[in-house]
Structure 1
Amino acid sequence: MESKFIRGTFFLTAASLISKILGFIYIIPFTALVGTQGYVLYKYAYGPYTILLSISTIGLPLAVSKFVSKYNELGNYRVGLTLLKSGMYLMAISGVISFAVLYSSAPFLAGLLIDPNDQTGNSIEDVQYVIRLVSFALLIIPAMSVFRGYFQGSQSMGPSALSTVIEQVVRIIFILAGAYVTIHIFNSSLTNAVGIATFAAFIGGVAGFIILLVVFFKRRQLIKKQRDMSPNNEDIKVISIYKELIGYAIPFVITGLAIPIYQNIDTFTINKLFQSIGYKLEEAETINSAIGLAQILVMVPVSLATAFGMSLIPGITSAFTSGRMLEVQTKITQTIQILMFFTLPAAMGLCIVGEPIYTMIFGLENSPELGGGILQWYSLAAVFFALFTVTAAIMQGINQQKKLIIGISLGIFLKIVLNVILVPYLEEIGPILATYFGFIVSILYNIYNIKKTIQYKLLPLLKSLIEVILIVLAMSLVVWFVQFLTERCLSDALNLYSRALVISVISICAGLFVYLGLGSRLNLVKKISLRNQRNNN
């Protein structure tokens, strides 16, 4: 049973990582096709869609998984199937409502983003069009989330993993093929190309949903037999089911919404704030796009780090519930150590080599000097995003959900206020610093409550991180020096893109060589390796 669980968790984690990596990679050819103006239009559509998707699914994949797992363990398989059936109806209704809200609010949202008197950038009609096209995905994705949660709760991670990857692959193929055909074969507008790209969310959702349906119908006889042979098939009223389910779901929703809310604050305020200090809409949209692209790069190390760190969270929950506080403290320390081991060097690397990396990935057509500078400033957000995600998960694990929501709200309020205050003085750096301060407040609030609830001692944690910090500093010096030498040695005959490519590759390789070489000697790495050997044995 434990082997099956570990294998299933591996499949689900791997699928999530593959999906996120693909979601990063396709942005490179997509921005090459549609440019800065096209990407920011795409970002306008996906911002509100992400928020409404999180609200419409109300955290159901994780909540349904937790619910089904609990009642299957009690020998009551009937309740899980009851939840699946009623949940599909509920999510179908929720999806239709969310679709109607986003579709009908498109003119209002477009008005928040675009000044109709400034014709230098995207028009209000363009923004309405792409928002309405992406809204169709809300008809299918919420219902699919219930299916995924059901399979995960039944300890069958394969269908969810396969569905996740297929959804992303189909979506990306449709985005790139659709945009290419629209622009280069039909010679249509950039707006139509981006519209096709946003509609890909619906196409991908349909593909992922079909995979889940096929697997379910293939297993329906086995599932029916399992239900009929259950030792405890007591019926539970649907109202009671959803009361328990919502209790599980709300904290997942609030935590999952935090980073998208911060990103949407930037998306919906940057244009107006920069226009208020004399920028044209086209210039403001370029900054908006560059910040969005920097966010994508920053989220790559965050996704990898949290995938490793979050694997320890169920153990924290279990130990806390059983009153094993020393084990809780040890697991929290391990989680944050792993987090810093992965995110801190990535953040420092992006900070030092930000401009050539941005140019290498997004090309010379997407404002590399502006984007590279923004990426260098934004890079340390990787550490804050990862720390927030894990401290928020720990807060849920120790039953501090209400205080978690307070901390998130404080950070979001500060972010909004500081965006307005800092942009007139610091321009494109203002929204980045506002994000830092907002997350720092939430993280410190979380840490304070964790410390207070379980008497967690910070000093041993800080001492354990000294080794990581010293190695990151050594790596950073090497990367800076290698970048400096490479820039001086390269021939002036090379074009800007080739120079950026060579500098990025050599600097990254040097950084990896030094960090992995020194990092392999860390006590943290030795402990992780030893623990993995024990698990394999």
Structure 2
Amino acid sequence: MENKFIRGTLFLTIATLLSKILGFIYIIPFTFLVGEQGYILYKYAYTPYTLMLSLSTIGLPLAVSKFVSKYNALGNYRVGLTLLKYGTYLMILSGIISFTVLYLMAPFLAGLVIDPNDQTGNSLADVQHVIRLVSFALLIIPVMSIFRGYFQGSQSMGPSALSTVIEQLVRIIFILVGAYVTIHIFNGSLTNAVGVATFAAFIGGIAGFIILLVVFLKRRALIKKQRDLSSSNEDINIISMFKELSGYAIPFVITGLALPIYQTIDTYTINPLFQSMNYTLGEAETINAVIGLVQILVLVPVSLATAFGMSLIPGITSAFISNRMIEVQSKISQTIQILMFFTLPAAMGLCILGEPIYRMVFGYENKNSPELGGFILQWYSLAAIVFALFTVTSAIMQGINKQNKLITGIILGICLKIVLNFKLVLYFEEVGPVLATYLGFIISIIYNIFIIKRTIGFKIIPLLKTIKSILLLVLAMTLAVWCVKELLELWLPGTLSLYYRSLIISIISIIIGISLYLGVGSRLTLVKNLAMKNRK
């Protein structure tokens, strides 16, 4: 049974990671098709949709998983099915309400980012159109997500994993094929192409839900038999059930909302801020789009690093509940060391290779402002470390039952981000929103670390000493990558196009950097110790 659970969890982790990788890769051909103006139009729709989706599901899928797992372990399978039934009703109602709110709010949201008197960018009608199209996905995604929570709580990870991948694949195919056909075959407008792309969330959701529904119907007889043979078959009061669920769900939803809220602040404040400084709407939208594209690049190493680091979080929770504080501190140190080992070199690599990497990924044939993108990427690159630290310290806070304190730290960071966006743009222009993001997340991280330290007596200085060797290794790798980059820029023939120069510089520098880092890093005592502890 344990091996089956481990295989299922691994399968789900791989599926989630694959889904995230696909979610990064498709942006490259999509931005090539629609350009920066099309991408920012897409972002106008997806940013509020992501927020509304988090609010509509209210963290329930993860809470359902925890709830079902608890009662199944107690031998009461009836409660899980009852929760699935009433939770589905709740998600249908929540989806209808959130769809209606987003659909009706489209004119208001469009008015926040578009000046109707400036014709250099997207129009009010364009933004309203794409927001209303993406809102349809809210009718299906919340219901689908609660079925995923039920399967995961039943320790059946396969259906959730399969539906996650199918949903993403169908969505991406619909986005790319739909945008290409609209533009190149039907000679449709950019707005219609982006509209098709946003509606893809609804199509992908249907595909993912069909997978879950088919599996559930196939297993229905077995599930009913399991319920009828339960050692404890008592139902619990619906109000008590949802009260317990809300205690699980609120921390999940608040933590998950942090990054989308930061993205929303940027998306909906950058245009008016830059227009107040005499930028045209088109120029402001370019900056807005580039910051969004840069963030996608920065989040790639974050997802990989946290996938490794977060694997230790259940152990932290278990040790804390059992009052094994020395083990808790040891596991927190391991988590942060793993985080630094993977995230710090990636962040420094993005910083050194900012322009060539941005041009290689998004700037083919000088599309999508590669100079501006490279400049912002160099400033934004170290945010990978900040995002990863926030994710892990937030998970640790939940592991040591400090969910309420966690919410306070997140709210402090968001308030600071809003204030600094308005202040720093005036002085630092394109870099202003980036610096505001750094400072907002840093205040939340400092707050989290303070609470962790006060709760379990965690010591920071010994941790800093343990990662000293990682810092020295990253410094050596950074110098090597910088030298390779400079030498290649001198040696490559001037007749080579800027795109192919960037491609060659990026690939060779990355290969040498990774080879040096992993080659020397695998010999470090710290890395060997971490590997041995994880094997145990």
Could you tell me the TM-score, scaled by structure 2's length? 0.99
The 8 Å contact of residues 334 and 530 in structure 2, kept in 1 or not, is answered as no
In the alignment, which residue of structure 2 is the partner of 1:359? 359
Deviation of residue 533 (structure 1)?
A: 4.4
Correspondences of 1:93-172 after superposition (within 5 Å): 93-172=93-172
In the alignment, which residue of structure 1 is the partner of 2:459? 457
In the alignment, which residue of structure 1 is the partner of 2:319? 319
Bigger Cα displacement from structure 2, 319-328 vs 343-352: 319-328
Does residue 467 (structure 1) correspond to residue 453 (structure 2)? The answer is: no
Partner of 2:292: helix, strand, or coil?
helix
Select which of 421, 424, 448 maps to 2:423.
421
Partner of 2:54: helix, strand, or coil?
helix
Q: Distance in 2 between matches of 1:282 and 1:496?
A: 25
Give a deviation string over 1:82-109, Cα, whole Å, max 9, x none. 0001111100000000000000000000
Q: Distance in 2 between matches of 1:507 and 1:227?
A: 58
Q: Distance in 2 between matches of 1:113 and 1:230?
A: 55
In the alignment, which residue of structure 1 is the partner of 2:513? 511
Deviation of residue 440 (structure 1)?
A: 0.6
Deviation of residue 523 (structure 1)?
A: 2.6
Q: Distance in 1 between matches of 2:483 and 2:471?
A: 18
Q: Distance in 2 between matches of 1:312 and 1:57?
A: 26
Q: Distance in 1 between matches of 2:4 and 2:530?
A: 21
Partner of 1:438: helix, strand, or coil?
helix
Bigger Cα displacement from structure 2, 200-209 vs 219-228: 219-228
Structure 1 residue identity aligned to 2:490: R
Give a deviation string over 1:204-258, Cα, whole Å, max 9, x none. 0000000001111111111111111110011101111100001000000000000
Correspondences of 1:74-473 after superposition (within 5 Å): 74-363=74-363, 364-473=366-475
- Contiguous gaps of at least 5 residues in structure 2: none
Q: Distance in 1 between matches of 2:444 and 2:531?
A: 32
Select which of 519, 522, 533 maps to 1:520.
522
Give a deviation string over 1:320-362, Cα, whole Å, max 9, x none. 1111111111111111111111111110000000100000001
Structure 2 residue identity aligned to 1:234: E
Q: Distance in 2 between matches of 1:3 and 1:95?
A: 37
Partner of 1:120: helix, strand, or coil?
coil
Partner of 1:187: helix, strand, or coil?
coil
How many equivalent pairs are there? 534
Change (3 A) 1:524 1:227: farther
Q: Distance in 2 between matches of 1:463 and 1:9?
A: 34
Structure 2 residue identity aligned to 1:386: A
In the alignment, which residue of structure 2 is the partner of 1:480? 482
Give a deviation string over 1:357-396, Cα, whole Å, max 9, x none. 0000012210000011111110011000000011011111
Give a deviation string over 1:248-288, Cα, whole Å, max 9, x none. 00000000000111111000000000000110000000000
Q: Distance in 2 between matches of 1:270 and 1:328?
A: 42
Deviation of residue 30 (structure 1)?
A: 0.2
Partner of 2:102: helix, strand, or coil?
helix
Q: Distance in 2 between matches of 1:345 and 1:532?
A: 21
Structure 2 residue identity aligned to 1:449: I
Q: Distance in 1 between matches of 2:535 and 2:310?
A: 20
In the alignment, which residue of structure 1 is the partner of 2:72? 72
Bigger Cα displacement from structure 2, 473-482 vs 520-529: 520-529
Deviation of residue 476 (structure 1)?
A: 0.3
Structure 1 residue identity aligned to 2:34: V
Identity of aligned residues (%): 76
The 8 Å contact of residues 59 and 249 in structure 2, kept in 1 or not, is answered as yes
Q: Distance in 1 between matches of 2:532 and 2:403?
A: 34
Q: Distance in 1 between matches of 2:98 and 2:367?
A: 36
Partner of 1:277: helix, strand, or coil?
coil
Q: Distance in 1 between matches of 2:24 and 2:286?
A: 19
Select which of 496, 499, 507 maps to 2:498.
496
Q: Distance in 2 between matches of 1:147 and 1:528?
A: 37
In the alignment, which residue of structure 2 is the partner of 1:3? 3
Q: Distance in 2 between matches of 1:341 and 1:3?
A: 29
Partner of 2:12: helix, strand, or coil?
helix
Give a deviation string over 1:503-523, Cα, whole Å, max 9, x none. 101111111111111111123
Partner of 1:219: helix, strand, or coil?
helix
Partner of 2:467: helix, strand, or coil?
helix
Give a deviation string over 1:182-208, Cα, whole Å, max 9, x none. 000000000000000000000000000
Bigger Cα displacement from structure 2, 445-454 vs 519-528: 519-528
Give a deviation string over 1:399-446, Cα, whole Å, max 9, x none. 111111111111111111111111011100100000001111000000
Deviation of residue 525 (structure 1)?
A: 2.5
Q: Distance in 1 between matches of 2:79 and 2:527?
A: 43
Deviation of residue 117 (structure 1)?
A: 1.0
Give a deviation string over 1:84-138, Cα, whole Å, max 9, x none. 0111110000000000000000000000011111110000100000000000000
Structure 1 residue identity aligned to 2:300: V
Q: Distance in 1 between matches of 2:220 and 2:433?
A: 51
The 8 Å contact of residues 28 and 362 in structure 2, kept in 1 or not, is answered as yes
Bigger Cα displacement from structure 2, 515-524 vs 261-270: 515-524
Q: Distance in 2 between matches of 1:223 and 1:530?
A: 41
Structure 2 residue identity aligned to 1:476: T
Structure 1 residue identity aligned to 2:188: S
Partner of 1:75: helix, strand, or coil?
coil
CA-based RMSD: 0.8
Q: Distance in 2 between matches of 1:119 and 1:523?
A: 60
Partner of 2:278: helix, strand, or coil?
coil
Q: Distance in 2 between matches of 1:170 and 1:395?
A: 36
Partner of 1:391: helix, strand, or coil?
helix
The 8 Å contact of residues 140 and 206 in structure 2, kept in 1 or not, is answered as yes
Q: Distance in 2 between matches of 1:182 and 1:130?
A: 15
Deviation of residue 532 (structure 1)?
A: 5.0
Deviation of residue 531 (structure 1)?
A: 4.0
The 8 Å contact of residues 56 and 91 in structure 2, kept in 1 or not, is answered as yes
Structure 2 residue identity aligned to 1:78: R
Partner of 1:428: helix, strand, or coil?
helix
Deviation of residue 6 (structure 1)?
A: 1.3
Give a deviation string over 1:440-499, Cα, whole Å, max 9, x none. 100000000000000111111111111111111110000000000000000001011011
Bigger Cα displacement from structure 2, 18-27 vs 314-323: 314-323
